[in-house]
Amino acid sequence: MSTLSLLSKAATGIQPDRPPYYTLTWRQKQLLLTLSQQPTTLPLLALESEQLLADCLERSPVHLVKLAPDLGEAALALWADACAKVNKPAYLRVPSTPALPKKQNHLKWRLKRLIDWSAAVALLLVVGPLMLGLSFLILFQSPGPIFFSQWRVGERGKLFQILKFRTMITGAELYHHQVMGQQAGLHKCENDPRVTPIGRWMRKYSLDELPQLINVLRGEMSLVGPRPWALYDAVRLSPAVRQRLNALPGITGIWQVTGRSHLRDLDDVNRVDLRYLGTWSLRQDFKILLLTVPKVLSGFGAF
């Protein structure tokens, strides 16, 4: 195991009084990245671009990268993008938890995953024409790509690209923090000016989430599970609830059918998910799926 410090000027996307110092630790072909308060006497490497970082990772024997949450959203996205370029997985470092369905009942969990895959295939065949129609509407309404992808935290902290129909103007992510400001809870805005007219309609009935069935087929998501946190939300979770980030996220879940319209506190949402994980059962998942249907048709809490 070896350790050295890394100085990155571009990693955070901001200009602090002094650039942050990072500590890189190699352990069993894993690269662990954490913040460091003080530089070492070893030479520092300035990473000026995502491509330079990707080139370094490609030449290294590292198999995967683990990133500390306190690195910040911009640095996490930079490393995730670089890892994706060289096909090496990136993980958010999160504390382990025994309260996971996969650990509680392995056989029932395997059955759940089989149901996920089978249902995702069937649903894609059924809603395929609808998805095609939505694709044309998006193209005609607003210039830009049909799909929107974003880094989310998946099982055991693994970062993955969630797929959605694009409901905002092109480049909307650049204005995210301007729109949300210092909002403490979930970064959701009822009158978000970036949302297109067709996007607002799709969001009301959760149609923008249909492409997530592809994430289910990839094994990155389940039909039912905790909310898949975006990086800007994940970095603001308190250490007391970060173990929830070990769970496989779902398209729908207990929060979506019970607290979507009023429960916005990040830690409270995670506590709801932790209770769900602690009492998980296939019967409960089936109940959540049944409750999802009327919530979607009524546009419950969606914007």
**How many CB atoms are closer than 10 A to CB 16?**
7
Residue 186 in this model has a pLDDT that exceeds 60: yes
Residue 171: partners with Cβ closer than 8 Å, 6 or more residues away: none
Structure tokens at 202: 């799709």
- Residue 215 DSSP SS3: helix
Exposed, middle or buried: residue 80 (CB in 10 Å: 0-12, 13-18, 19+)? buried
pLDDT grade for 187, boundaries at 50, 70 and 90: low
Domain ranges of the chain: 2-92, 101-149+161-298
Q: Are strands 250-252 and 222-224 parallel, antiparallel or unpaired?
A: parallel
Quickly state the pLDDT bin for 181 (edges 50, 70, 90).
Answer: low
Residues in the chain: 303
pLDDT-based confidence at 8, cuts 50/70/90?
Answer: very low
Q: Is the pLDDT of residue 287 over 90?
A: yes
pLDDT confidence of residue 134:
96
Percent above pLDDT 90 for the chain: 47
| pTM score, whole prediction | 0.86
For residues 180 and 259, the answer to whether their CB atoms sit within 8 Å is no
Q: In Å, how far from its chain's centre is CA 106?
A: 24
* pLDDT surpassing 90 at residue 4: no
Helix, strand, coil fractions of the chain, as percent rounded to 5: 45, 15, 35
Interval 216-230: pLDDT, tens: 999 999 999 998 999
pLDDT tens track for 15-44? 444 556 778 888 888 999 888 776 654 444
The pLDDT tens digits for 149-161 are 999 999 999 999 9
